[in-house]
C-alpha cells in the first residue's frame, strides 16, 4: 500500500495541452487503458531529459532524434511494453508509431515523440496501436490528466499527479504534472515517465536549464532499488498561454517564484514514486549535512539508500544502527572524519562524534524504526554542503512483485 499517499485531487488543466487514452491491449495481464497521447498547442516549448542507461530503448532514441529536428506537437505513450532490447526492428516500430500519428493529424513525423514502459525484449504490437489511434485522438480533452496518469502505470498501485499555481507578473500560471514509477528506480532517472506542463511563457532554451535543475533536485534524488531503466523520460512543456512576461533567465521578474512552483511539483511527484515503491512499507529520507562537498554528501546518502542491510533493517523495524554506520564508512567519501560524524534517527541522536551517543537507548531507536516515515540524518561536521535522497525499505513483497512480474 502507498505510504501516506491518496489519489490526487484538484488536478488543474493547462491551456494548450490536451490528453487522451485508450486500451490497445498492450498490457499483458488485463484489458485496461494502456495507450495515451498528449497534444501540445503550436509554439509550446519542450524540454526533455532521458535515461543515462547505455542500453537505451528504441523510443528514447527516436524521441531524442526528433527533438533535435522539430518542436514536438504530440507525445505518444504506451504501457505494458518497453520496446527495449528490440534492435533495429524496435527502432523502426517506434518510428512507424510516430508516422501513424502524423498521418492522422497532419503534423510531421518528427513532431511526434514516442515513449514506452513495460516488459523489456518484446516487440511493440504496432497493429494494435494503429487500430485504435483514430479513437484515441477523438478522446483528447484538457481534463484527462488523471485518466492518462492511470493509463501510464505499470507496477504502480496508485496514479500520481499534482498541480500548483503561482503569480507571475500579475498573471496566474499553472503547473500540472503526472508521472509513473514504482520499481527499477535509481538516480540519473529511473523506470519512470514524467510529464509536466505549465501555461507560463518561458524561453525555450532556458526551459531546458529549468528542467535539468528541477530533475537534479527531485527525480535524481530518489532510489528504490538502485537499478536504472532503459526507458526513463521526463518532459517539461510550456505553452505560454498565461501571457506573462517571458521568463528568459534567472534574472527575469518572478523567476524565483516560478522555479519554486516547478520544483514543488517535481519534488512532490518524485516523492510519490518512493511512497508507492514496490513492496515499500517505509518512506525514508536520508539527509547528509555539513559535508565538505556535494559529491561526498551524495556518495554517503546513496550508500545508505542502496544498502540491502540498511533497507532490510528498516523493513524489520530493527534499530540496528551499526548498518548505517558501516554504510557511511563504505561510501569512501573523500573528506570524512569518523571522529566528527553524528547520526540521527528522526531527532534521536544515536552516534555522537563517531561513537554511540551517551544518552542513546535501544528503546529510543526502536520507537523511531516502528514509524512508517523515518529520517536518517548524517552530520559530517566538515563543511557547508547538504544533500537529501528519498528511498524505501526492502521487503518480501518487493521480491514477490519482481519475481512474478512477467508471469
The per-residue pLDDT for range 183-222, each reduced to its tens digit, is 766 666 555 899 999 999 999 999 999 999 999 999 999 9
| 12 falls within a domain | no
E-strand ranges in 147-219 read: 160-168, 171-180, 193-198
Low-confidence stretches of the chain (pLDDT < 50) are: none
Instruction: Judge if 345 and 221 occupy the same domain.
Output: no
Question: Of 42, 53, 56, 175, which is closest to residue 108 (Cα–Cα)?
Answer: 42
Taken as a whole, the chain contains a residue count of 407
What's the whole-number average pLDDT of the chain?
A: 94
Instruction: Judge if 303 and 396 occupy the same domain.
Output: yes
| 168 falls within a domain | yes
Residues annotated as catalytic are 191
Range of the domain at 134: 17-275
Boundary (domain end) residue, out of 214, 243, 275: 275
Task: Output the nine-digit C-alpha cell for 288.
Answer: 547528509
Instruction: Judge if 301 and 268 occupy the same domain.
Output: no
270-288 confidence digits (pLDDT tens): 999 999 988 889 999 999 9
What pTM was computed for the model?
0.94
**pLDDT given for residue 227 in this prediction:** 67
Instruction: Judge if 299 and 271 occupy the same domain.
Output: no
**Structural domains counted in the chain:** 2
Instruction: Judge if 44 and 124 occupy the same domain.
Output: yes
Q: How far, in Å, CA of 45 to CA of 382, rounded?
A: 42
Strand order in the sheet with 112-119: 17-22, 35-40, 74-81, 112-119
Query: Domain with 338 in it: what CATH number?
Result: 3.10.20.340
Query: Could you tell me the maximum CA-CA distance found in the chain, to the nearest angstrom?
Result: 72
Angle of helix 308-315 versus helix 321-330 axis, rounded to 10: 160
Boundary (domain end) residue, out of 244, 275, 306: 275
| 6 falls within a domain | no
Q: What is the dihedral of CA 327, 329, 332, 335, to 10 degrees?
A: 130
Boundary (domain end) residue, out of 275, 301, 331: 275
Instruction: Judge if 159 and 251 occupy the same domain.
Output: yes
Q: How far, in Å, CA of 5 to CA of 192, rounded?
A: 18
Buried b (16+ CB within 10 A) or exposed e, 218-252: bbbbbbbbbebbbbbbbbbbbbbbbebeebeeeeb
Instruction: Judge if 191 and 262 occupy the same domain.
Output: yes
**pLDDT given for residue 406 in this prediction:** 64
72-129 confidence digits (pLDDT tens): 999 999 999 999 999 999 999 999 999 999 999 999 999 999 999 999 999 999 999 9
Instruction: Judge if 290 and 248 occupy the same domain.
Output: no
Instruction: Judge if 130 and 240 occupy the same domain.
Output: yes
Task: Output the nine-digit C-alpha cell for 6.
Answer: 491518496
Amino acid at each position: 500500500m502507498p505510504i501516506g499517499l491518496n489519489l490526487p485531487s484538484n488536478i488543474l488543466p493547462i491551456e494548450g495541452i490536451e490528453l487522451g487514452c485508450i486500451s490497445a491491449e498492450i498490457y499483458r495481464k488485463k484489458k485496461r487503458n494502456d495507450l495515451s497521447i498528449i497534444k501540445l498547442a503550436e509554439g509550446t516549448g519542450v524540454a526533455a531529459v532521458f535515461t543515462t542507461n547505455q542500453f537505451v530503448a528504441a523510443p528514447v532514441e527516436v524521441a531524442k532524434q526528433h527533438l533535435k529536428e522539430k518542436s514536438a506537437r504530440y507525445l505518444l505513450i504506451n504501457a505494458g511494453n518497453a520496446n527495449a532490447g528490440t534492435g533495429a526492428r524496435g527502432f523502426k516500430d517506434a518510428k512507424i508509431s510516430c508516422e501513424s500519428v502524423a498521418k492522422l493529424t497532419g503534423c510531421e513525423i518528427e513532431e511526434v515523440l514516442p515513449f514506452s514502459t513495460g516488459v523489456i525484449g518484446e516487440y511493440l504490437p504496432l497493429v494494435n496501436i494503429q487500430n485504435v489511434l483514430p479513437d484515441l485522438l477523438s478522446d483528447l480533452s484538457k481534463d484527462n490528466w488523471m485518466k492518462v496518469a492511470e493509463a501510464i502505470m505499470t507496477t504502480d498501485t496508485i496514479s500520481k499527479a499534482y498541480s500548483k499555481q503561482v503569480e507571475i507578473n500579475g498573471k496566474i500560471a499553472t503547473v500540472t504534472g503526472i508521472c509513473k514509477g514504482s520499481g527499477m528506480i535509481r538516480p540519473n532517472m529511473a523506470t519512470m515517465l514524467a510529464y509536466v506542463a505549465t501555461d507560463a511563457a518561458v524561453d525555450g532554451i532556458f526551459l531546458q536549464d529549468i528542467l535539468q535543475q528541477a530533475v537534479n533536485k527531485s527525480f535524481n534524488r530518489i532510489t528504490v532499488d538502485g537499478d536504472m531503466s532503459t526507458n526513463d523520460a521526463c518532459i517539461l512543456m510550456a505553452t505560454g498561454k498565461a501571457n506573462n512576461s517571458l521568463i528568459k533567465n534567472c534574472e527575469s521578474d518572478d523567476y524565483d517564484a516560478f522555479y519554486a512552483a516547478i520544483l514543488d511539483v517535481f519534488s512532490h511527484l518524485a516523492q510519490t514514486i518512493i511512497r508507492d515503491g514496490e513492496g515499500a512499507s517505509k518512506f525514508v529520507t536520508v539527509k547528509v549535512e555539513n559535508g565538505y562537498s556535494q559529491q561526498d554528501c551524495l556518495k554517503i546518502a546513496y550508500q545508505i539508500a542502496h544498502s540491502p542491510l540498511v533497507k532490510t533493517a528498516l523493513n524489520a523495524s530493527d534499530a540496528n544502527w551499526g548498518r548505517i554506520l558501516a554504510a557511511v564508512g563504505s561510501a569512501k567519501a573523500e573528506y570524512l572524519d569518523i571522529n566528527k560524524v553524528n547520526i540521527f534517527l528522526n531527532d534521536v541522536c544515536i552516534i555522537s562524534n563517531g561513537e554511540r551517543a551517551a544518552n542513546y537507548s535501544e528503546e529510543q531507536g526502536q520507537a523511531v524504526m516502528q514509524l512508517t516515515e523515518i529520517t536518517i540524518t548524517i552530520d559530517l561536521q566538515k563543511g557547508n554542503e547538504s544533500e537529501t535522497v528519498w528511498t524505501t525499505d526492502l521487503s518480501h513483497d518487493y521480491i514477490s512483485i519482481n519475481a512474478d512480474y512477467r508471469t
